[in-house]
Amino acid sequence: MEKTLEVKGMTCGHCKMSVEGALNELEGVNSAEVDLKEDKVMVNYDESKVSIEEMESAIEEQGYDVV
């Protein structure tokens, strides 16, 4: 399943790496791609293995706000 999350506070390439890295560590996340300009994160995931809530928590733990 594919979904786009809106995330505030990501500005540089390190933000992008932090968020993508945190998401990719989760079991069930196939891919995560941050679009810095659009404040978006596109996630491709297996909904039987990981929930949106878990992905949001992982992003928030890195210090960013999910809208």
Which residues are at the interface with ligand 9UX (CB under 6 A)?
A: 11-12, 14-15
Residue closer to ligand 9UX by CB (options 21, 31) is 21
Taking the complex as a whole, how short is the minimal distance between the CB of residue 20 and ligand 9UX, in angstroms? 12
Taking the complex as a whole, how short is the minimal distance between the CB of residue 48 and ligand 9UX, in angstroms? 32
Taking the complex as a whole, how short is the minimal distance between the CB of residue 11 and ligand 9UX, in angstroms? 4
For residue 61, how far is the Cα from the chain centroid? Answer: 11
Residues making up the chain, counted from first to last: 67
**Cβ–Cβ contacts within 10 Å for residue 14, how many?**
9
DSSP letters along 31-49, please?
Answer: EEEEETTTTEEEEEE-TTT
